[in-house]
Amino acid sequence: MMEKTLTENVLEAVKTLYGKEADPSKIQVQETRKDFRGDLTVVVFPLLRYSGKLPEQTAEELGEYIRENNAQIGNYNVIKGFLNLEISNAAILDTFNKLIKHDPGFTSADHSNDYTTLVEYSSPNTNKPLHLGHIRNNLLGYSLARILSTCGHKVYKTNIVNDRGIHICKTMLAWKLYGKGSTPAETGVKGDHFVGDYYVRFEKEYRKEINELKSQGLSQEEAAERSSLMSQARELLRKWETGDKETVDLWKRMNEWVYEGFDTTYNALGVDFDKIYFESETYKPGREIVRKGLDDGVFYKKDDGSVWVDLSSDGLDEKLLLRADGTAVYMTQDLGTAVLRYKDYTFDHQYYVVGNEQDYHFQVLKIILGKLGYEWSEGIHHFSYGMVNLPEGKMKSREGKVVDADELINTMLSTAADMSGELGKLNDYTGEEKKSVYRKIGLGALKYFILKVDPRKNMMFNPAESIDFNGNTGPFIQYSYARIKSVMRKAADMGLVPADDTDGIELNAKERSLVNILRAFDTLIISAADELNPAIIANYVYELSKEFNQFYHDFSILGEENNMVRMFRLALTEYTGKVIGKAMWLLGIDMPERM
RNA sequence: GGUUCAGUAGCUCAGCUGGAUAGAGCAACGGCCUUCUAAGCCGUAGGUCGCAGGUUCGAAUCCUGCCUGAAUCACCA
C-alpha cells in the first residue's frame, strides 16, 4: 500500500520537477536495508534520465517533494543514489491500528475469485511404507492447500493411491510363499511395514534366484526371463486383471493392512485428504479415454497394436499410452484420474504435488489433455519439488537406504520430549498435556526444517543435524509464540486489555520495524501462492520471530510505566502472535501455548 | 548426446523481476538470567557468490561459453 503510494509520489514528482512522464517500471521502492536509517528506499539511478542531474541532487529534490506531498513520510536522508524515507510515527501507528482491525491472513484483492482447486499430494504405492520423500511431499501439499484456501480458493485435498501393478503382485506372491498366513495383528507389525517387508523379501529372493541362474551360465536377460518368481508374479497380475476371486481377495486384504498403516502415519504427520482416488479405479476409465482419442484420430496405433500419441509438433517425442496387450501405463491412469476428478469437482485448477523427476510426465499429461479437447487442461499445474538427499547420497528404497517416516517422526517426538523434560517448564502439566506439547514441538521442528527450503531445490537431510531446536527452527518460532502467549496470560491476570487504537506515542526502532514486517504479511501470502512456495512463509515467520525476540529482550511490555505505551506494546505483542500463529498454520504447524 | 534444474561461509540454507559494505542458523570462541519463558539476546571470527567473458552508471542476480552435480529423455510408477 505504502509502496504504491510512493510510486505515485515519485511519478508526480518527476512530472512536476522535471516535466516528464516517468515509466512506472523504472521506479523502484524497496525496504530500506537494516543498517541505514529509514523504512522505505527509492532507488534514484533509473530516474536520472528524467532529472538530468546528479544522483544525490535528484534524490534530494525527490525527497523534498515527497515529504511535502505525502503526510505519511516524516523524514528522509540521501546516501549516494538512494533516497531513504522514514514513515512518520503517526503513519506507522495508523497502519498498525488498521492492521489489528481484522485477523491476519485476510487476503482480498483479485486473488479471491472463489476458484475450485484440487491439490493432489502424497501419492503412495501400496507396497512400501512412507519415507522422507513422502514427508516432503505431504508437507508441501498440505501447506499449499492452506495457502491457496487463504487466498480465496475452494480447495479439495486429494490423494492418488497406486494400489495396482506388478509391484503389488510381487508382494502378494512373497506373502503367499513365505508368510505362512501371518498378519499384522498377529505379529504386531504396523500394516504398511508388514507388507513392505514382503516386497523386500521378494526382491531378495528374486536376486538370489537370478544369481543362481547366472551361475549356471545364463546372461542377466536370460536369467530374468527364466525366473520362476517373476513369472509367478506376472501370473498373479494376470489373474488380478481378470478378476480372479482368490487373487482379488488377497489383494484387498493386503491393501487394507497398508491403508491402516498409512492412516497412522498421516495422522501422526497431521495431514488429511478430502478424497482419495485409487488407480485400480482410474485405469479403466483411462483406457476408455485413450480408445476414444484413438477413434477421434488424436492418437494412433502401431502395427503391434500399441497406442501412441505424437507430440513432435510440441517439440516432444512420441509417447506410449496403451501397451500392445491393452494394459494401462502410468499415463493412461493419470488421464483417467484427471477426467474423473473434473467430473467430480469441475475444478478451475489442479495442482499435482509430484517430484521433479516427473516434470516431463506432467508436461505431456497437460498437452495430451489439451489435444483431447479438455479446455480445463489449462488449469493443470505441476507443483514440482526437488529430491531429499541423505549424507550418503540418494535415497534408494531397494537398498534400504531410506529414512522411514514413522521412525523419523518418533525420533523427533522423543527428542522433543527429552529436551522439554530437561527444561522442566511443563512440570505442572498432566501427562496427556505434555505429550501434546512434545508432539507439536517435535513435528514443528521436522516440518519447519523441510518447508523452509525452496521446494524446487534438492535438499540435504542429515538425520543427526536436522534434529535441532535452536536457531532457525520450528521450535524457535514456537518458543517466541509461547512467550507471547505467556505475556498475554499475565496481562489478562493483571486485567490489562491491549489497545485497539493508539495515538500520540513515540515508537522505538524495534516497534517500527515490527509494524513494518507485520504489514507485509498479506501480500506475502499471495506471493507464496503465486510462486507455489511455502518457504517464503517460513522465512518470513522466522524473521518476524527474531525481530520480536529482540523487541522482547530490549523492552518491557507489561512493566512499561507509560500506560499508553504499555497497551500499545501489548497490542503489538498480541498481533505479532496472531501473525506468527497464522503463518505457521499456513505451513501446517501446530503451536503450543506453553513450552 | 538432447532438454531442464542447481553450484553463495566448514555445514544447512536465504538473497536472484539488476542496486548500498552478500545475510541467517549450526558448528567455534567470548559475554548476558535478583526484571514479562536463557528452546532467548548481544558480540568475535568465517565468503575469489563454480570459472571465464559480455551487457550496464551498477551483476550473486541478466546473456554466452566452459566446469561440476542432479533429474529426465522407459511398453517403471
Judge whether residue A206 has pLDDT over 70.
yes
What is the identity of the amino acid at A288? E
Q: Which residues 287-306 of chain A have a CB under 7 Å from nucleic chain B?
A: 302, 304, 306
Q: Which A residues 552-581 have CB within 7 Å of strand B? A: 552-559
- Strand B contact at CB of residue A77, distance < 7 A: no
pLDDT category at A317 given cuts 50, 70, 90 is: confident
Domain membership of residue A518 (yes or no) is: yes
Amino acid at the residue A249: D
| CB A329 within 7 Å, strand B | yes
Q: Is residue A327 domain-shared with residue A424, that is, in the same domain?
A: no
Percent of chain A residues topping a pLDDT of 70: 98
The span from the CA of A571 to the CA of A346, in Å, is 44
Cell of A179: 508368510
Q: Is residue A339 part of a domain?
A: yes
Q: Is the CB of A527 under 7 A from strand B?
A: no
Question: Which residue's CA shows the smallest distance to C1' of B42?
Answer: A550
CATH code where residue A496 lies: 1.10.730.10
> Is A359 within a domain?
no
Distance from CA(A557) to C1'(B35), angstroms, rounded = 11
> Using an 8 Å Cβ cutoff, are A321 and A307 in contact?
yes
Closest by CA position to A331, among listed A355, A313, A307: A307
pLDDT in the model for residue A397: 67
Nucleotide B14, nearest residue via CA and C1': A539
Q: Give the model's pLDDT for residue A218.
A: 86
Report if CB A324 to strand B is under 7 Å: yes
Q: Is the CB of A440 under 7 A from strand B?
A: no
> Rounded to the nearest 5°, which phi and psi values hold at A322?
-150, 130
- Whether A358 CB is under 7 Å from strand B: yes
Domain CATH number, residue A63? 3.30.1360.70
Q: Around A136, how many Cα atoms within 13 Å sit in the side-chain half-sphere? A: 27
A426 plus A561 within the same structural domain = yes
**Residue A485, Cβ neighbours under 10 Å: how many?**
19
Domain housing A81 = 2-87
> How far: A470 CA to B29 C1' (Å)?
18
Query: What does the pLDDT look like over A30-69, one tens digit per residue?
Result: 989 888 889 999 999 999 989 988 999 999 999 999 999 9
- Chain B positions within 7 A of any protein Cβ atom are 4-6, 11-15, 19-21, 24-27, 35-42, 57-58, 70-77
Cell of A82: 538512494
Give the ranges where A350-460 is alpha helix by DSSP (H): 359-371, 405-423, 431-451
Query: In total, how many domains does chain A have?
Result: 3
pLDDT above 90: residue A350: yes
Q: Work out the pLDDT band at A399, boundaries 50, 70, 90.
A: low
> ipTM for the complex?
0.96
Is residue A357 assigned to a domain? no
What angle do the packed helices A405-423 and A132-150 form, to 10 degrees?
A: 80
User: Is the residue at A465 inside a domain?
Assistant: yes
Residues 22-61 of chain A with CB under 7 A from strand B are 28, 32-33, 35-36, 38, 41, 43, 45-46
